[in-house]
Structure 1
Amino acid sequence: MLRFLFALAAFLTAAHAQTGEAVRTGHAESRLIAETTAAVPGETLWVALAQELEEGWHVYWKNPGDSGLPLSLGWTLPEGWEAGEIGYPIPHRLPLGPLTNFGHEGSPTFLVPITVPEGFATGESVTLDVFAEWLICLDVCIPESANLSLTIPVAETAQPVPGNAERIRAAKSAAPKDLGLEARFADTDGSITLRIEGAPAGEPVFYPNEGGMVEPSAPQSTARQDGALFIGLTPGIDYQIDPPENLDGLLVLEMDGQEIGVEITAPRAVGPIITTEQKRALAAGAPARRAADSMEGTPPMALLMIFGFAILGGVILNAMPCVFPIVFLKASSVAKLGGADRATIRMDAFAYTAGVLVTFAAMAALLLALRAGGATLGWGFHLQSPIAVGFFAVVVFLIGLNLAGLFEIGTSLQGAGGELSQKKGPAGSFFTGLLAVLVAAPCIGPLLGLPIGYALAAPPAAAIAVFLALGLGLALPYLLLAVFPQLAQALPKPGMWMVRLKQLFSFAMFGTVVWLAWVVSLQAGPQGVLYLGIAFVAAAVAAWLFGLSQEKGGALPLKVAAILAFVIAFAPLTQLTTSASATAVAVNKEAYDEARLARLQAEGTPVFIDFTAAWCVTCQYNKRVVLDTPEMKQLFAETGTIFMVADLTNPDPVITNAIERQGRSGVPLYLYYNGMGDPEILPQILTADRMRETLERS
C-alpha cells in the first residue's frame, strides 16, 4: 500500500512539474504546459502557451489584420536548447466597424517545438523561462505580459502528461497542414487572383502570412472550376508599394461547422492563370465571409455610438473654421426672418435641412459608387480636383459680390442657386444647405472619424444612413427654428441694418476665396493661379453687367453680355491640372514614406505624422497655431522626433489607405509613434500643451 502511495505521489509531482504556474493578467490566464513527463535528449519537446481569455476578449494571429499585435515570446533556455516558431491556431475574422482583424477567442493554445540537444545530461531537471507579450482587446485594447516558467526533468524516456497531452495533441490535430497543394497568383485588373489546384471542399477564406499584402476588410470572391479554386483578393498597401514574388498564407475551409487550415505557398505566375470564363465565374462568385459587410457584424451599442457621434459631430461641424462662411451666410438668412410669420420660419428651416440632407445623400452615393469602381477616395474627395476647387472659388466669389451689393438675385440673401433663388425663401435656403455641405465636406471634425470610417466600409444603405445622421447634426441648429420659431421672431424687422450686415458678411466670402485660391496654387501651381485670376476678372465683369441690366430694367443686350462673361469666367478653369510640385514639404519635415516609417519604428525612433491637405481648414489652423511655431520646431529637435507629412491635397491612394487603416476616412489625422507598437491618435484640434506632453513622453 505504501509503495502505491509513493508511486502515486511521484506521478502527481511529475505531472505538476510539466505544468507551469498560471499567471493571471488583466483579462487572461496564461501558463506553460508540456506534452510529456520529461525532455528526451535528441528529440523535440512540445510545449504550449495555454491561455484562458475572458469572454468576448481576443488576442491576435501572426498577421493581426487591420490593427493589433501578434504574440511575442522571448525564451531563456539551457545551453544548446532551441525554441522553434510559434504554431498559431486557425484564426477567425474579428470585425469592428470598418476594420477587420485576425485573432483568437476563448482558450487558444500556442504550440512551440523545443529541440533538446543530443548528449544533454539526464537525471536532472531544467527550467524553461519565457517572457510573453500580447495585445488583448474587446472594445479597448490592453497590452499584457507575463513571465512564465516550466520545470521539467531530462530523462531517457517520457510519457504523456494527462490533460496536457490531450490539449497539445488536439492543437496539433487542428493546426494548419501542408498538403502540398500547387498554388500560383497573378495581378488581374487591379486585384489579385490566387489559383489553388485540388483544394478540399469547403467555404474558403485566405489569410496572408504578412500584413499589408491583402486588404483585411475587403470581401474575397471565390469560384471553383476545372479542379481549381480561384480567390479574388484586394491588394494591401505593402503589396501596392512593393509587389511580392511569393504570396504565402493560410487557406481556411469551413464545412458543416468544421474548419481545416491548409498552408499555401504561392509564387507569382509567369503567364496567365485564369481564363475569360473562369474570370466571369470569379466575378460572379459570392464574397467569402466578411461580417463587416453587414450591420449585423457591429454590436447594437457600437451602432448607437456611431450614429450618435455622427449627429453630434455634425452639430460641432458648425463651429469648424471651414464652415464659418456658410454660418455667416445662414446668419444673414435668419436675420431676414425677423418679424416673419411662423409658417415662413418653419418652411425656411425645413428647406435648409432638406438641402443639407439631399446633398449629403447625393455626395455619399457618388463617393460609394466611385469607391466600388476601384477609386481610392475619402470624404472631401471633390476638393482634390483643382477644377472643382476653382469652380467653387468662382461661385463663392460671386456670392460675395452679391452680398456686397454689386448685383441682386431676387430679394434673397441666400442665393447660391442662380435663378432658382428668385423664388421665395425656401429655394434659396435649400441651395444654401447644398452649399453648406460642399464647404463642410473637407472637414473631419471631432467625433466624425469613427462614423465616416464605418460608413465607407459599410453596405450602401447603412453608409448613407450615417451620412444623413451627420447632415441632420449639421442642420440641427437651424432646424430648431422650426420647433421654436419665436427665436427668429424675436429679431428686429428687416431694414437698413440688414443691408449693412449683408455687406459685412461679404468679407467672409472673400476670405474663403483667398483660401481657395491658395489651395489652387498648391494643386496647380502658379499657372493655375493665373487661370483662376482670369476667371475672377471675367466673373466680376459678368456680375457688374448683370447689375447694370437690373438698373436698366432688364436690358436684353446687357443680360446677353453678362451670360457671355459668365461662360468666359468658367472656361479657364478647364485648364487647371495638378502640378508635380503640389505636395512639396517644408525643409524641416519629411514626406510620408511607409518604408522609411517601418525602419524608424524598428530603430525605436519616435515619429509624428501629419495627415493634411491644403483644402482642409482645420489642418491649416493646427499648422499655423501649433505645428509650425518656433517652440514646436525646437521641441521636435530636442526629442529627436521625426516629422512626416502625408499630404492629401491631391489624390494619393497610399495616403488614403494609411488613413483607412486607422479607421478614419479624412483629414486632419495626427499619429504619434513612440517607437513601440501601434500609434497614438491625437485630437483633431491640436494644442501646444498636448503636443508637448506627447513628444516629451518619448
Structure 2
Amino acid sequence: MRKSSILVFLFFLASFSQVFGQIFTPTTWKSPVADKKEVNVGDEITLTFEAKIIDKWYLYSSDFDPDLGPMVTSFTFKANDSYELVGGITPVNPNKKYDDLWEGDITYFKKTGLFTQKVKVLSKNFKIQGTIVGQACSDIDGQCVPFEKDFSFSGLKVTGEDMAPVKKTEVKSVIESTVTDVEGEQEEGLLGFMLTAFLFGLTAIFTPCVFPMIPLTVSFFTKQKGGLGKALLYGFFIVLIYTLVGGILVPFTKDPGIANLISTHWLPNTIFFVVFIIFALSFFGLFEITLPSSVVNKMDRQSDRGGLFGIFFMALTLTLVSFSCTGPIVGSILIESIQGGSIKPVLGMAAFGLAFALPFTIFAAFPKLMDTMPKSGGWLNSVKVVLGFVELAFAFKFLSTIDLVLHWNLLDKDVMLSIWIATGSFLGLYLLGKIRLPHDYQPVEQIGVFRMLLALGVFTFVVYMIPGLFGAPVNVLSGILPPQTHHNFDMNKVVRDNIKTYGISAANASEGIGETVKYGELFELPHGLEGYFEYEQALEASKREGKPIFIDFTGHGCANCRRMEDLVWKNPEVLKRLQNDYIVLALYVDDRTELPESAWITAEYDGKVKTTIGQINQYIQFTKYNGNAQPYYIITDETGSLFTENGKEVLLPRGYDTSISGFVEFLDKGKQLYQNK
C-alpha cells in the first residue's frame, strides 16, 4: 500500500512538472528588512531588498541606462501618508561589464542581489507596499525570464505624532546609468577615472604656464638648508590644495537626485557645453583665462613669510599663476567627476595634484635630472592646442545629452561621429604642422618622432570612426555617442528595409501586409520581415491567409533574442521560410507601454491586473504556452493552438539554439503539420 502511494505521488509529481516545468522563477525575493526596529516619527530608515539568484543565472541591476536594451530592475512604491522616499534605489556592489551586443556598460548580480532605499517615517501607522519588476537571464542558454514581485513592509515600532502627509503620487525609483553612488560604483571604473586625472596632471606640466617654473622652483629649494624636506612639503601642499578644490563639490554629489539632475537635465549640460567651448577657445589662443593679478600678488607676498605657511602659500601661488593653463583641465575633471558620486571629485583632484606635484619633488630630490629636461619652446603651446581639440570634442558630448533629452534629433550618432572625425582630422593636420594658430609663431620645419607617433595615433582613431558613419559599432566611444537607434544613415537598417525588394527570393516573396499593423509604430521586425505585434490580429491574419503562425516571445532587453535574429533569422533559408510560409508574430514581454483600460486583463494565477503590452504578452505566454523565458519560439494554427497527436505535443517550443539546420527543420515541420491537419 505504501509503495503504491509513493508511485501515485511520483506519477502526480511527474505530471505536474510536465505541465509547469517551464514556468519557473530564477530569482527569489526576501521581504525587505529595515536597519532599525524602533523609530520616532521623522526618523529615516534604510530598507534592504535581497534577491537570491539560482546558479548560472544573473539579475540585471538598476543603475545602467535602460535605453541600452536590457530590462533594468525597477522598484515602484505605492504612495501613502505614512512615509516619504529619500533619494532613489541604490544597488549594493553590482558587477559591471561592457556588453558587445548592447554596446555599453551593464551592471548585474550573481547569486545574491542587494538594493537599498532610504525612507522617512511620517506616521505611527507606517506601511510600505510596492512592486519590483526586472529580468534574470541564463549564462548557459541565454534565456531571459522577466518577473514582477509585490512587496510590503510594516514591521516597525513607531512613536511620536504623525507628520503632515506627503503628496499622493506613485514614485518610481529607477536610477539611470549616469547616476552612480560611490557605494555601488565599480572599483575599476573609479581607478580608471583616477588614472585619467593623473594623466591630465602630467599633461598640465608641459604647458607654457607651468613648465618654465620647474627649474626656478627647484633651484630655490636646493639652495636652502633642508631643501629636500621643504620640497616634499611643497609637493604635499600642491596635492592638498587640489584635493580641497574637489572637496568643495562633495555636498553637491551626495544626493542621487542632484547627480541625476546634473547628468540628464538640459540646463547643466548646456552650461558644461559652453564651459568646454570656452576652455577650448582659450587653449587655441583666442584669449586667456586668468585670475585677478591682485589675488595672485597677495598670495605671492604671503609666501615670503617662511616656514610652513610660506611653503603653503608658495604652492597656492603656483596653482594661481598656472590657472590660465590648468584651469580648463581642472574644470574638465570636476565636471566629469561631479556626475559620478560624492568621493569622485576628491579622488580625481588628488590624482591630478599628485601628478602635477611630481616634477617639483623629484627634481628637488635628484637635481642632476634637470639636465635631461627639454628646453622651453613652441612645443609647449602645441600641448595647449592639443588639449583644446580634446576639450572641443568632449564639449559635444554634453550637447548630445541636451539633444536626446529635448528630442531635437539634430545631433544623431552619425552627426556626432562626423564632428569627431573632423576634429580629429584637424588635430592630426596640426600635429603635422599643416595648420597654425595664433601663438604658433614659428612654422614646424621638422616633425619629431613623438609628434609623428601622436599624429599617427590620431589619424588611426579617425579611420576607426569612419565605418561608424554607416552603422558599424564604435565600441570605444560607447556611452559617449548617442544610441544606435539615433542614426540617420545606418546601412544595416537600409539593407534590412530593402530585403523584400532587392534581397533573397524577392520575386517569390509575399506582397506584404495590406492592413495597419497594431503597435507597428512601436516595434519593428528585423531583416525586412513584415508581421504583427498583437496576438488577436495575427490570428485573424492566419485565418485570412491560410498560413501557420510563428510566434516569437521576445524582449527589448533579451540579448539572445538579438543574437538569434542576427545569427539564425538572417540566414537565407530561414528568412525565406519566415517571409513566405508564416504569419510572423513578435510579442514583447518587457514592453511598458500602458494600454487603455478596456484592454486590461486580470490574471487568474496571481490576481493582478495586467495593464501594459509586455504584461499582456507575458500573460499569453504563461497561460497559453506554459513558458516565461525568452527567446521562446512556437508554431500554432489559426486558433493559436499547438499541434498535437493523441493529446501530445508533436512540435515542442524552441529556445536559444543557433543551429540553422535545426531551425529550418523546425519551420519545415511546422508548415507540414499545418498542411496535414
Q: TM-score range by the shorter chain?
A: 0.3 to 0.5
Q: Looking at secondary structure, tell me which structure has more strand per residue.
A: 1
Give the TM-score normalised by the residue count of structure 2.
Answer: 0.37
Give the TM-score normalised by the residue count of structure 1.
Answer: 0.36
